[in-house]
């Protein structure tokens, strides 16, 4: 009997010849990531008796959730984190303005194939796009890693997704993600590893793979992972990353369940309030007027997302009843989107540019929504109160749907707007 990717990567990190789903292992951690909640991790670290972190070179801290600081309390917490960085001599620190942790980790090539990575953010699953075992943990778990360098895991069962076919125009990885979550449910991958294969996956850009793996958290996944291929090897052509082994699942690996999906007929999808698995074709949602649209987040704030939005909006204007927020996932994305002219086009159309960060996605600042407002977001969560008022309604879509809807003022299919 062969082994899945999760079993192989955790076995290697635990210095075991093999491990099986359901077993418990103690694994060495290659990278431990946190963001604004680092202040809470610092508290837990000291409560555990920590004085000096074990391996400062394996710790990454990126301030991204409340940036720039939105309250005095936030400012003081960020100040405390900066002092900790200096005191502990942690080299991998990215301050306000660099961007969302997941995008920065990818751009800086800090996570590579074969690594076991944890972070105090649930969407660490994103980094399975670079064939790493990446998962979110709580503050006390991360503090334990700072102190000891290891963490225990229950080896997850694995779901295998074979995604075939060629996507139609204006149908994206976000639509694949929503379609899968609509099929298996918001708890359909709870504490499971999700492996992705098939021609449609091979055709996805690395940015789109990040989106897909990011969204699997919304089905409850412990991690999501795409095997290494030529696209990924080209991205990691840096010799210093060569010490990480590229690992593949065995042909006779045991999967809890396999799904075969054909995306050839897939159409733009939308998740309706108040659950990410309340998924319908966009064409089935009629005459829903929108107050605010967000294009951004760790899910869809990348260069290709602003490119497709700019293409769809073209020379049109944003509907005067809509606030269109533009939030690049990083400083690099922002600069490249300016260089390419995407942001100029979107701003000229009426879009509002915000600094790289997470604020509007989780209703912290720079776009908090009011009572009873209707929101269309390219982010990953739409439960009540996520982006502000509990009475607001949040729909989730791709940037293509978001851009088309910004023009019309109602939820719209981009294929109907661009003819």
Asked, for residue 378, whether it belongs to a domain, the answer is yes
The CA R_g of the chain, rounded to the nearest whole Å, is 21
Residues 227 and 294 grouped into a single domain: no
Give start and end residues of each alpha helix (H) in 185-302.
199-203, 206-215, 230-235, 297-300
Give the pLDDT confidence score for residue 239 in this predicted structure: 42
Residues 118 and 143 grouped into a single domain: yes
Short-list 182, 31, 170, CA closest to 102: 31
Euclidean distance between CA atoms 345 and 18, whole angstroms: 53
Give the pLDDT confidence score for residue 70 in this predicted structure: 92
Residues 200 and 298 grouped into a single domain: no
Q: Which two tokens stand for residue 28?
A: 């060495």
| Total number of domains in the chain | 2
Euclidean distance between CA atoms 369 and 386, whole angstroms: 9
Domain end, chosen from 200, 228, 261, is at: 261
Q: Which two tokens stand for residue 408?
A: 């019309």
Residues 362 and 386 grouped into a single domain: yes
Question: 126-161 burial by CB neighbour count: b if 16+ within 10 A, else e?
Answer: bbbbbbbbbbbbebebbbbbbbebebebebbbbbbb
Euclidean distance between CA atoms 250 and 156, whole angstroms: 16
For β-strands 323-327 and 292-296, DSSP reports them as: parallel
Euclidean distance between CA atoms 268 and 169, whole angstroms: 10
Residues 192 and 284 grouped into a single domain: no
Give start and end residues of each alpha helix (H) in 89-170.
101-107, 139-148
Asked, for residue 244, whether it belongs to a domain, the answer is no
Give the CATH number, domain containing residue 279. 3.30.499.10
Give the pLDDT confidence score for residue 144 in this predicted structure: 97
DSSP string, 161-194: EEEES-PPTT--HHHHHHHHHHHH-TTTTTTEEE
Asked, for residue 377, whether it belongs to a domain, the answer is yes
- Write the CA distances from 234 to 5, 80, 228, 278, integer angstroms: 21, 39, 10, 37
| Residues 228, 133 contacting (CB under 8 angstroms) | no
Residue range of the domain that includes 393: 271-417
Residues 94 and 158 grouped into a single domain: yes
Element (H, E) at 10: helix 5-13
Short-list 248, 260, 141, 154, CA closest to 198: 260
Residues 68 and 204 grouped into a single domain: yes
Give the pLDDT confidence score for residue 318 in this predicted structure: 97
Residues 41 and 98 grouped into a single domain: yes
Domain end, chosen from 208, 230, 261, is at: 261
Asked, for residue 124, whether it belongs to a domain, the answer is yes
Residues 228 and 281 grouped into a single domain: no
Give the pLDDT confidence score for residue 238 in this predicted structure: 55
Asked, for residue 139, whether it belongs to a domain, the answer is yes
pLDDT tens sequence for the chain (419 residues): 899 999 999 999 999 999 999 999 999 999 999 999 999 999 999 999 999 999 999 999 999 999 999 999 999 999 999 999 999 999 999 999 999 999 999 999 999 999 999 999 999 999 999 999 999 999 999 999 999 999 999 999 999 999 999 999 999 999 999 999 999 999 999 999 999 999 999 999 999 999 999 999 999 999 999 999 988 888 887 545 554 568 899 999 999 999 999 999 999 999 999 999 999 999 999 789 999 999 999 999 999 999 999 999 999 999 999 999 999 999 999 999 999 999 999 999 999 999 999 988 888 889 999 999 999 999 999 999 999 999 999 999 999 999 999 999 999 999 999 87
- Write the CA distances from 365 to 103, 207, 369, integer angstroms: 20, 26, 9
Short-list 131, 129, 154, CA closest to 141: 154
CA 237, distance to chain mean position in Å, is: 23
Tell me if the bond preceding 68 is cis, omega within 30° of 0: yes
Give the pLDDT confidence score for residue 286 in this predicted structure: 79
Residues 117 and 36 grouped into a single domain: yes
The residue assigned the tokens 């982006």 is 387
CA 362, distance to chain mean position in Å, is: 13
For β-strands 269-271 and 279-281, DSSP reports them as: antiparallel
Largest Cα–Cα distance of the chain, in whole Å? 63
**Residue 27 DSSP one-character state:** E
Asked, for residue 243, whether it belongs to a domain, the answer is no
| Residues 357, 100 contacting (CB under 8 angstroms) | yes
Asked, for residue 248, whether it belongs to a domain, the answer is no
Q: Which two tokens stand for residue 328?
A: 């690049």
Instruction: Note the pTM of the prediction, 2 decimals.
Output: 0.95
Specify which residues 119 forms β-bridges with: 33, 136
Asked, for residue 125, whether it belongs to a domain, the answer is yes
Domain end, chosen from 227, 261, 295, is at: 261
The distance in angstroms from the start CA to the end CA of the chain is: 52
Residues 85 and 173 grouped into a single domain: yes
Element (H, E) at 70: none
| Residues 381, 215 contacting (CB under 8 angstroms) | no
Residues 57 and 113 grouped into a single domain: yes
Count CB neighbours of 412 within 10 A: 26
């Amino acid at each position: 009997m062969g082994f899945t990717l999760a079993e192989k990567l955790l076995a290697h990190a635990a210095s075991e010849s093999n491990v099986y789903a359901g077993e418990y292992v103690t694994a060495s951690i290659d990278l431990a990531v946190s963001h604004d909640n680092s202040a809470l991790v610092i508290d837990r670290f000291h409560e555990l008796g920590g004085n000096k972190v074990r391996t400062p070179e394996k710790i990454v801290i990126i301030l991204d959730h409340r940036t720039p600081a939105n309250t005095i309390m936030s400012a003081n917490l960020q100040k405390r984190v900066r002092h900790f960085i200096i005191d502990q001599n942690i080299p991998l620190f990215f301050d306000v303005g660099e961007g969302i942790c997941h995008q920065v980790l990818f751009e800086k090539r800090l996570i590579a194939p074969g690594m076991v990575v944890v972070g105090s953010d649930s969407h660490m699953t994103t980094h399975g796009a670079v064939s790493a075992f990446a998962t979110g943990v709580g503050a006390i778990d991360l503090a334990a890693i700072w102190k000891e360098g290891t963490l225990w895991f229950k080896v997850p069962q694995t779901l295998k997704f074979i995604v075939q076919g060629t996507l139609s125009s204006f149908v994206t990885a976000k639509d694949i993600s929503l379609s899968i979550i609509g099929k298996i449910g918001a708890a359909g991958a709870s504490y499971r590893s999700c492996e992705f294969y098939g021609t449609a996956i091979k055709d996805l850009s690395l940015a789109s793979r990040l989106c897909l793996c990011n969204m699997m958290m919304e089905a409850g996944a412990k991690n999501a992972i795409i095997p290494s291929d030529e696209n990924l090897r080209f991205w990691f052509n840096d010799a210093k990353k060569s010490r990480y082994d590229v690992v593949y699942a065995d042909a006779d690996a045991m999967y809890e369940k396999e799904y075969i999906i054909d995306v050839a007929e897939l159409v733009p999808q939308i998740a309706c309030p108040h659950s990410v698995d309340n998924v319908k074709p966009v064409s089935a949602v009629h005459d829903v007027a929108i107050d605010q649209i967000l294009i951004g987040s760790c899910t869809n704030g990348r260069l290709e997302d602003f490119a497709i939005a700019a293409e769809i909006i073209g020379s049109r204007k944003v509907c005067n009843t809509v606030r269109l927020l533009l939030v690049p996932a990083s400083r690099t994305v922002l600069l490249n989107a300016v260089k390419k002219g995407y942001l100029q086009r979107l701003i000229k159309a009426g879009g509002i540019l915000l600094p790289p960060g997470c604020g509007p996605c989780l209703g912290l600042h720079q776009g908090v929504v009011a009572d009873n407002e209707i929101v269309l977001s390219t982010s990953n969560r739409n439960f009540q109160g996520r982006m502000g008022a509990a009475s607001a309604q949040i729909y989730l879509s791709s940037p293509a749907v978001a851009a088309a809807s910004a023009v019309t003022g109602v939820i719209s299919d981009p294929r109907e707007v661009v003819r």
